[in-house]
Structure 1
Amino acid sequence: MTTSLPTPQPSQPAADGLMSAARRNLRETAHGLAHPSHPSVPPFAGARKRWRRLVPYVIVFALTALFLPVTITVLTNQYGVDDWPAGLLAVVQTLPLLMLAHRPLQAWWIILPADVLGALVLLMYAQPPQDIWPWPPPTLFCLLFLLLAVALRETRRTTIAVWALTAAAGLVLHLSVTERSNGSAGLVAAFGAIVTVIGAVVRERGVAQRRLAEQETISEAERAQRTLLEERTRIARELHDVVAHHMSVITVQADSAPYRINGLSREAREEFEAIAASARESLTEMRRLLTVLRSEDAQGERAPQPGLDRVQQLVEATVRAGLPVELSLAAGLPDLPQAVDLSAYRIVQEALANVIRHAPGARTGVSVTSDGAHLTVLVVNDPAEQPRSPLEPEASGTGHGLVGMRERVRLTGGTLDTGPLPDGGFRVAARLPLSPVTPTAPATAAAPEDS
């Protein structure tokens, strides 16, 4: 007795999954055919030059002006169609070409049914000696331009669906009347595939370039923001040292006041003790903040902060580096607030670094003056005398040049003016108030010479 083994059946969940995927793809394809994937604006709509914005309109008007009379002539002379049916078919088949610049998908929905209708109308007339059916020559070329326009604007899925439906329409006509068809349906399918691939490649290349440009713009914005935050952190670390010095002085004076001043009342002694305790607590909190602000490799920043008394040394070091610099430092400068003193030094330092980086060998003048209410720092350089090496990167700095200057000037409530000179040089002018002022955003001139 033999027992037959059951025939394996396909897994029902797998079949359901395939059916679900097929239905989903059909829905997405139908949605793509019914809804354009781009706004109703022609290519180059955002171009700055007017002639580039007009190019798509010129092309579609030229195509319409060419195909309309040619279609009428071919239908009447070659196929023997009466004048008014030929004119009506030509209008329906060619006027939608005007939509190729902004709505090629909608133009395809009008032109393809009109072409199918035209092929059926031609069956009502006697077959001419040089018959090309179902697509006469004007219709064939019109369909190729239409497929190219759709491929340039629509997604890959929609483009393939448009080509497939166009080829299917020609195939159905060919199989329906094989004795009349002579291969023009196959030409549309073959050449349509070529122009569709070309248009899709051009479109996807343009999309990739736009995405790359957007990513570069985002990266540049992030880099600028990161540079700004790094410079603000650097300024915060330096301000800690400035404020900590004054807080230390307050602590020492408050602790020593009862021993230096005789006859203080108990209330006065308690007041000095409270001042000293508050100052020590503030110092402790600032040291905790400094631990967060200072990175592990920022040990060199623990040195005393520089001021205008070290500008002479800075200029001498710059001259030794090969940059001719002349320093004009006004004598008898008033006692400067420590924040202004440090900011002035940093502005000169960054300006000279920019000259070395962007204008090597240029003669440079540094001037520091004061009118009693403001401190003016001026750094002006001539055009570069030494050509830049092609192997030397232009942006070899940290990006802290003009960004740092603006932040320091804003901190002190001053103004900053930077920009190129008519002769090719560059000018940096900072005006810092010597009395406490509420910091405001200074008016600055955008310059390409930021380090």
Structure 2
Amino acid sequence: MATSPAGPPPPADGLLSAARRNLRELAHGLSHASHPPTPLFADSPRRWLRLLPYVVVVALTAVLLPVTIVVLTDGYGLSGGVAGALAVGQAAPLLMLVHRPLQAWWIIFAFDVLGALLVQPDRQEALWPWPAPVIVGHLFVLLALGLRERRHTLIGVWLVIGAAGQLLHLLVPSREGGGGLLLFVLGAPVLVIGAAVRERSEAQRLLVEQETISEAERARRTLLEERARIARELHDVVAHHMSVITVQADSAPYRIGGLSDEARAEFASIAAGARESLGEMRRLLSVLRSDGSRGELAPQPGLDRLQQLVEATVRAGVPAELSLAADVRDAVERGGVPQTVDLSAYRIVQEALANVVRHAPGARTRVSVTARDGRLTVLVVNDRAREPGAPLEVSGTGHGLVGMRERVRLTGGTLDTGPLPDGGFRVAARLPLPPDRPPAASVNPEDS
């Protein structure tokens, strides 16, 4: 079987194209600043650090301007007017370093090159093409660039400085001096130091942002977990009422005499709809209970089990006491407290006591449940911890406080939490109670 000859290999990205690409990046970095013209250290919370760059550039300009004039007139033979003009061009743009260091470098560099072409060193040991004040000023410019610009810009600036020094030596071979090489060598570590500080600050900023995002994700995951837990418990409450509807609809034809065929069909339709709703809820519950736990199938607790909860807390080392008002006991016994409120009140007390055990071990704790003005008030107050414990997070990232808030929101109540002046902590929840109503009909547990 004949095979066709292989075609030519695709053109590779050779050294020439890579060099052109890098040159384009360097040119773009030299002509475009990589940051907005915001002041250096503008985001710092310390006022003195925000003012420090201005103080430095003003002091640097005030020192270099007269020194440059003196050096150019005494050591390089320039007249006072020419030396003053060059000094202004080389020193005054230093005031731009706080906002626009790259633009300041271009201005200073242009005047440095012009000065190198005009000066005539009177002494053999004088630096050329960059006098000593030029080198000092340039090093501060390079440091400001390192703190603000990208790597491509810094490399481009460094290479331009080195190339300019060598080119000036080639154009004027009669002049000698190590200023060009000295600035090129000293500029490298200054740029590296500035870039290292900038990248470290950038890494710290990104780390803080990532920690903030992670904290927000943890809080969101905690909230979703609590809502799923509440949904699982709410299923049991709603399933009870749906079971009551099913039993009442099925038994209505036998309990009520003289029903028409239409009424019997209506009751049968109600019972069928209730059974279908129960089936849908069970399927939803199977998704929420993804861990396969069977312990949650037990009857949900309520206010009648608060005494057992407090006793368990006492056994855990927390001296706790319970005050349950008589009218609350009566309402619980006759079914006057809705199951959602009953369960939410129990869970709020449970979470509050768990927080005491974790964050204030050994603190005396008082639990009070009262009913007044159509509201059930749950109050849990603990004293200062007798031994140090983990600080309680009151910002809403702990499971306990998130669970309390979600349960109070479910019932339409209010929640008030916060530290006390004596070092303790208070949790106060107010849950609405419905008007007095007859107790719910009993239901066969097998139907739920």
TM-score by length of 1: 0.89
1:401-439 Cα shifts (integer Å, max 9, x gaps)? 111111111111111111111222111111110139xxx
Q: Which moved more, 1:189-198 or 1:76-85?
A: 76-85
Assess if the C-alpha contact under 8 Å between 2:361 and 2:385 holds in 1. Answer: yes
Q: Name the counterpart of 1:424.
A: 423
Where does 1:12-411 land on structure 2 (aligned, <5 Å)? Answer: 13-14=11-12, 17-123=14-120, 127-128=122-123, 130-333=125-328, 334=331, 335-388=336-389, 399-411=398-410
1:124-175 Cα shifts (integer Å, max 9, x gaps)? xx62355221111100111111111111111112111111111211122233
SS for the counterpart of 1:258 is helix
Residue 79 of structure 1 and its aligned partner are, at CA, apart by 2.1
Residue 67 of structure 1 and its aligned partner are, at CA, apart by 1.1
CA distance in 2, matches of 1:49, 1:120: 44
Cα 1:88–1:312 shift into 2, 3 Å: same
**AA of the residue aligned to 2:372:** D
1:48-106 Cα shifts (integer Å, max 9, x gaps)? 33222211111111111111111112112222321111111111111111111121111
**AA of the residue aligned to 1:371:** R
CA distance in 2, matches of 1:170, 1:102: 27
Residue 47 of structure 1 and its aligned partner are, at CA, apart by 2.4
SS for the counterpart of 2:11 is helix
CA distance in 2, matches of 1:221, 1:286: 31
- RMSD over aligned CA atoms reads 2.0
Assess if the C-alpha contact under 8 Å between 2:250 and 2:268 holds in 1. Answer: yes
1:190-234 Cα shifts (integer Å, max 9, x gaps)? 111111111111111111111111111111111111111111111
Residue 393 of structure 1 and its aligned partner are, at CA, apart by 9.4
SS for the counterpart of 1:386 is coil
Assess if the C-alpha contact under 8 Å between 2:26 and 2:155 holds in 1. Answer: no
SS for the counterpart of 1:423 is coil
CA distance in 2, matches of 1:327, 1:52: 55
SS for the counterpart of 1:332 is helix
SS for the counterpart of 1:216 is helix
Residue 370 of structure 1 and its aligned partner are, at CA, apart by 0.5
Percent of aligned positions with the same letter in both sequences?
Answer: 71
Unaligned runs of 5+ residues in structure 1 are: 1-9, 437-451
Residue 380 of structure 1 and its aligned partner are, at CA, apart by 1.1
**AA of the residue aligned to 2:150:** T
TM-score by length of 2: 0.90
Unaligned runs of 5+ residues in structure 2 are: 1-7, 436-448
Residue 400 of structure 1 and its aligned partner are, at CA, apart by 1.3
Cα 1:372–1:258 shift into 2, 3 Å: farther
Q: Name the counterpart of 2:440.
A: none
